[in-house]
Amino acid sequence: MNQAPASVWRRPVHFLAFGLGSGSVPFAPGTFGTLAAIPFYWLLSELPLGWYLGLVAVAFFWGIWLCDKTSHDLGVHDHSGIVWDEFVGYWLTMAAVPFSWEAALWGFVVFRIFDVFKPWPIRWADRRVAGGFGIMIDDVLAAAYAWSTMHLWFWLH
């Protein structure tokens, strides 16, 4: 486990990469980062789908830089406290899912399962793709699995 550096509270780039500080918890920072993304999903869910996806795309590309910069500054590739990737992954999981607390919770659980267990090709990407893009892409892949699961669940119910 990596302890969160003091710079999380002093440097805006680190604060954002650490999910507004949610990644600074001493245990399960990815879980807390995903939880911190839920209120933003609530707000984003009110937008038309095109705007939602556009903002999430901006968050993804911005996240590549945020995560790369923070990782480089800390000297630790994919520090466990860097959770901006969980924010984006959760938001992708919830794309086109109407907001309800049940859906938000279900999306949280499904995304965390795929993010933690990393079925192929997620684990492959996590181990072989470096830099900010590498930090972000495994969560995008986990989100693709989770998004598919969410939409299948909604289609069946």
pLDDT digits (tens, 9 = 90+) for 127-141: 999 999 999 999 999
* CA-wise closest residue to 93 among 131, 15, 38: 38
State pTM to two decimals.
0.94
Residue 156 pLDDT: 84
Residue 76 pLDDT: 87
Q: Measured at the alpha carbon of residue 67, what is the angle toward residues 16 and 82, in degrees to the nearest 5? A: 65
Side-chain-side CA neighbours of 12 within 13 Å: the count stands at: 0
Residue 71 pLDDT: 94
Residue 5 pLDDT: 72
Residue 118 pLDDT: 93
Q: Are 71 and 83 in contact (CB under 8 A)?
A: no
> For the chain, which residues score pLDDT lower than 50?
1
**Integer Cα distance of 41 and 46 in angstroms:** 9
Residue 2 pLDDT: 57
Q: Are 47 and 98 in contact (CB under 8 A)?
A: no
Phi/psi of residue 68, nearest 5 degrees: -65, -45
